[in-house]
Structure 1
C-alpha cells in the first residue's frame, strides 16, 4: 500500500492554539487525504470531543503548550483509548512530561514532509 493511500481517510485530531499553525496543519493534512478533527485551540475542547466520541479519531497532533496549559490531559486520554499521538513543539523534549518523552515530536517550524513521516511512523502495523 502506498503512503498516500495509507493516510487517506485517517482522522487526525489537531490541538493547536496558534491559528496560523492550525490552518497550516489543516491544509497539510487535507493534502494527504486525512480528515481533520478540529482543530481545537483549547484542551477542554479536545477533551470534550474525546469524551463524546471516544472513537472519533484515529490519531492526534497535540501542541505541548496550549494557551498556557500543557496538553498532558489530552495525551492521557489518547493513551487510555489506545490511540497514537504525536506532540508538536518549538522546544526540545525537556518541555515534555517525562512519561511522554518517548512519543514522537513534530518540531516547529515543520515541513509537510515532516508531518507525513511522523503520521506514517505512528500508524499501527
Structure 2
C-alpha cells in the first residue's frame, strides 16, 4: 500500500512539474502566398521615322512585313505596313510569377483547470486498483 501511495505521489508531482514548465499552448501555423503576374508589353501602331534616299524612281507595291519569333521564353512580334508606314510591336514575356511566402505563427493559451489531469490520473489508478482487487 505504501508503494502505491508513493507511485501516485510521484505521478502527481510529475504532472504538476509538466503543467508548470510546459503550459498548454495551441500553435496555429498558416502560410500566406502572394502571386504577381507580369502583363505583356504591347505597342500599338507607331509611325516610324522615314529616311528618303534619292537615287532612282522605283514603284513598289504595298506590302506587310511580319517577324514573329520566340527568344528563350518570350515572344516578340514586329509588323510593318509599307505604304501606311505603320509599325506594330508586341513583346509577351513568359508567365513570371513571384511567390512571396509569409509564415504566420499565433499561439493561444488553452485554459484548463489545474486539477483536471491529476484527477484523471488518480481516477485511473483507483479504477485499476479496484479492478485488480475484484479479480482476486
Judging by fraction of residues, say which structure has more strand: 2
Judging by fraction of residues, say which structure has more helix: 1
Structure number with larger C-alpha Rg: 2
Q: Same fold (TM over 0.5)?
A: no
Q: TM-score, normalised by structure 2?
A: 0.16
